[in-house]
Homo-oligomer: A and B are copies of this chain.
Amino acid sequence: MKQETRKDEIINTAAKLFKEKGYSAVTMRDLATAMGIKAASLYNHINSKQDILKTIIISIAEEFTTGMHSIINSEASSISKLKRVVKLHVNITSKNTNGMASLNNDWMHLEDQLNYYLQLRNDYENDVLNIIKEGVSSSEIKNNNPEIIMFSMLTTLRSLYLWIPKKEDLNANDLAENLSEVLIEGINK
């Protein structure tokens, strides 16, 4: 386990504040106060406010991309792949709920990395859609509108950051299991 540097501490504190109020509403003075120092002192550790946002979002987005590549290159069935997608979201979100809030809500405030982020997100959605379409082709998955299925799954998974912190009694494996059941098998008895 790497030692948490002062820079990491600032970034984690920023992610927490960004989750509460959004990137634009958090000032460098807010961040400094939360760290117990003055705003000017932050700049000994980070280059700019924008740089903090970039660090938070891009690292998580790349983690999703890496995880997705591992899933689509596996030999599993479509349903198994979708279950692994659920696990991927639960795992990454459990590790970093605050960062996930920024990824979901503040990506549009990225400057230099905006197009890169949009490309990663678009590729990711396409990968999920293709898994679903393959499952429909192989009769594993019902022939509903694949885009509605993708939308429903991804919006649920993307909102996990709101929910995981409130349910710390549920461990990651149980949550992924329960969520897979609901998303894949439905709720009708």
Residues of A within 8 A of B (CB): 20-25, 79, 105-106, 108-109, 132, 135, 139-142, 144-145, 147-149, 151-152, 155-156, 158-159, 162-163, 167, 175, 178-179, 181-189
Contacts and interface: CB of A to CB of B under 8 A. Distances in A.
A129 to B, nearest CB: 13
A105 B108 contact: no
B183 A152 contact: yes
Contact of A24 (B25, B152, B178): B25
A122 to B, nearest CB: 13
A175 to B, nearest CB: 8
A10 B144 CA distance: 40
Nearest to A140: B189
Q: Give 10 closest A-B pairs by Cβ, nearest first.
A: A186-B186, A155-B159, A24-B24, A24-B25, A185-B186, A152-B156, A148-B178, A142-B189, A155-B156, A184-B188
Contacts of A182: 144, 148-149, 152, 186
A187 B141 contact: yes
A25 B27 CA distance: 12
A17 B163 CA distance: 28
Contact of A21 (B108, B163, B179, B181): B108
